[in-house]
Homo-oligomer: A and B are copies of this chain.
């Protein structure tokens, strides 16, 4: 799911402050059909997908007569465990969605799953990814009489179905899917079915599981593990699965194209214990570290991960380089999301709210820092300074991804291009900026090797790596039509309280 550009200019108050200089996956989805604990299992599934979105979450269930929706801000473990929430989500079928958002406001309109009541019955849908022609479709649908309530691209799917000409729901749904462009992993429930679909390129993950005969769809396999479900297989790129009381059927509504799974899922988005497209994420990350140790060796005393995302690659690097792996930086896990700047003087203290260098380990040493990526570079700069303040003799930075130079249009919250350090600096300049003795990024080929490929196939790359390569695998209709600035799509700024 992604937000169509709004008027709203709310900025992240923690912007420079919270030290979270990462790209963010915007959603996780989950669906289950035929289990008496459907809503509770969806809650657990979403909890294990919490790393894909922490802002808000929603669950819609169906009990054979009525649909039930709950949408709440905050972590699943807090908001969905209040008295009554699960009791109200009756039925043996449910879908859920967890959302990361940059808007920060109080706008609950965009919390998925979305629901629509068609003449033929109800339909609820949740989506991970981004539809790159959503604004264009929205304008067409509005001219045809559709009234939109939210600003999320997901709502377009509902109106395409409502306005569809076909009679059978499946046909209308496939007709709607064929009009979409971009990246989407979708789960939905109707009065009769649970449906799941991945876009033709399979940019975002979606897996199929089984728990005591109940089918499950989820963004990652870790959502199967938490409830003890069996991992059956990945939903294939371009595949639509339809699950009902008779079982599961597979459809291919799209023209066949090559697969282009998002390689950044391996680098940072996915949980290390997930298995996606045949690879264990932790394993790929460690392997990147091994590759980095080969590509960019350096004489040093110890390897220190930038916690927590740099840990697997650092383990791989240390093993590859035969250097000791040490926790030279300690992370404070109690930093809440709301740690706002108390005073100006404290705002400038920055990164230490989250991290502290362990002087005893670092002092007088030649340190190799390993991190997963550099986005704006602000955190890296602070971390390096902290390590130097702790007495490191040398600081070498090794990054487990190529330079991130281009925005993602497929459901990832990327800063403006000009804020991406790699878009305006060479590696040398970056090294200087973050003040390290040496800086190396894994090569694109090295990254592909870590996933098990021999190398990147530059003709038809095996992955979507547009944030590194600028090679976007789909049309970008809204973007190209409107130029760099997507037109505002909602005239309404809304706030509610209960």
The chain A residues found within 8 Å of chain B, CB to CB, are 7, 37, 40-41, 43-44, 47-48, 50-51, 54, 60, 65-73, 75-81, 85-86, 88, 106, 108, 111, 115-119, 121-122, 139, 142-149, 158-159, 162-164, 222, 225-228, 271-273, 275, 280, 282-283, 308, 311-312, 315, 319, 324-327, 330, 332-336, 338-343, 345-346, 349, 352-353, 356-361, 490-498
Q: CB within 8 A of A81: which of B79, B116, B283, B339?
A: B339
Contact of A145 among B73, B163, B346, B353 (CB under 8 A): B163
15 pairs of residues in contact across A and B, judged by CB atoms under 8 Å: A40-B342, A47-B334, A66-B493, A68-B494, A70-B495, A77-B339, A81-B339, A88-B493, A108-B496, A118-B147, A119-B142, A222-B330, A271-B330, A273-B356, A319-B324
Question: Measured between alpha carbons, how far is A340 from B40 in the docked complex, in Å?
Answer: 12
A400 to chain B, nearest CB (A): 15
A60 CA / B22 CA spacing, docked (Å):
37
The smallest C-beta distance from A62 to any residue of chain B, in angstroms, reads 9
B345 A40 Cβ-Cβ under 8 A? yes
**A335: B residues at CB distance < 8 A:** 47, 77
- Expressed in whole angstroms, the Cα–Cα distance for A312 and B343 within the complex equals 35
Alpha-carbon distance A145/B77, docked complex (angstroms): 38
Report the bound CA distance from A81 to B158 in whole Å: 37
Nearest B residue to A142 via CB reads: B119
Query: Nearest residue in B to A497 (C-beta to C-beta)?
Result: B72
Inside 8 A of A106's CB, which chain B residues have their CB? 498
| Chain B residues in 8 Å Cβ range of A67 | 491-493
Are the CB atoms of B149 and A334 closer together than 8 Å? no
Q: Nearest Cβ distance between residue A192 and chain B, in whole angstroms?
A: 13
Return the chain B residue nearest A81 by Cβ.
Answer: B340
Please give, as numbers and ranges, the residues of chain B lying within 8 Å of A158 by CB-CB distance: 147
The minimal Cβ–Cβ distance linking A51 to chain B, given in whole angstroms, is 7
Given the complex, which residues of B lie within 8 Å of A78, measured CB to CB? 336, 338-339
A80: B residues at CB distance < 8 A: 342
Given contacts A69-B492, A147-B116, contact A273 B43 (CB under 8 A): no
Closest B residue by C-beta to A285: B327
Name the residue of chain B whose CB is nearest to the CB of A43.
B342
In the bound complex, residues from chain B placing their C-beta under 8 Å from that of A496 are: 70-72, 108, 111, 496, 498
When distances are taken between beta carbons in the complex, the residues of chain B under 8 Å from A338 are 77-78, 81
Given known pairs A338-B77, A340-B81, the reply for A143 and B116 (CB within 8 Å) is no
**Complex CA–CA separation, A271 to B44 (angstroms):** 30
Once the chains bind, are B119 and A143 in contact (CB under 8 Å)? Answer: yes
The answer to whether B66 touches A361 (Cβ under 8 A) is no
Residues on the B chain within 8 Å of A139, using CB:
119
Please indicate which of the listed interface residues A65, A71, A149 has the most CB atoms of chain B within 10 Å of its own CB. A149
Rounded to whole angstroms, the CA-CA distance of A333 and B77 in the bound complex is 11
- Min Cβ gap A324→B in Å is 7
Q: A170 CB to closest chain B CB, in angstroms?
A: 18
Which residues does chain B contribute within 8 Å of A227, judged by CB atoms? 349, 352
Docked pose: A321 CA to B44 CA in angstroms: 37
CA–CA, A177 to B7, complex, Å? 32
Whether the pair B86, A343 counts as a contact (CB closer than 8 A) is yes
Cβ A492 vs Cβ B37 within 8 A: no
Q: A88 — which chain B residues lie within 8 A by C-beta?
A: 493, 495
Given that A37-B343, A280-B361, A349-B228 are known contacts, is A117 also in contact with B336, CB under 8 Å in the complex? no
Which residues does chain B contribute within 8 Å of A356, judged by CB atoms?
48, 222, 225-226, 273
A494 CB contacts on chain B under 8 angstroms: 68-71, 115
User: Which residues of the other chain, B, contact A497 by a CB distance below 8 angstroms?
Assistant: 71-73, 79, 498
Q: Which residues of B contact A116 (CB under 8 A)?
A: 147
Given known pairs A226-B356, A336-B77, the reply for A491 and B142 (CB within 8 Å) is no
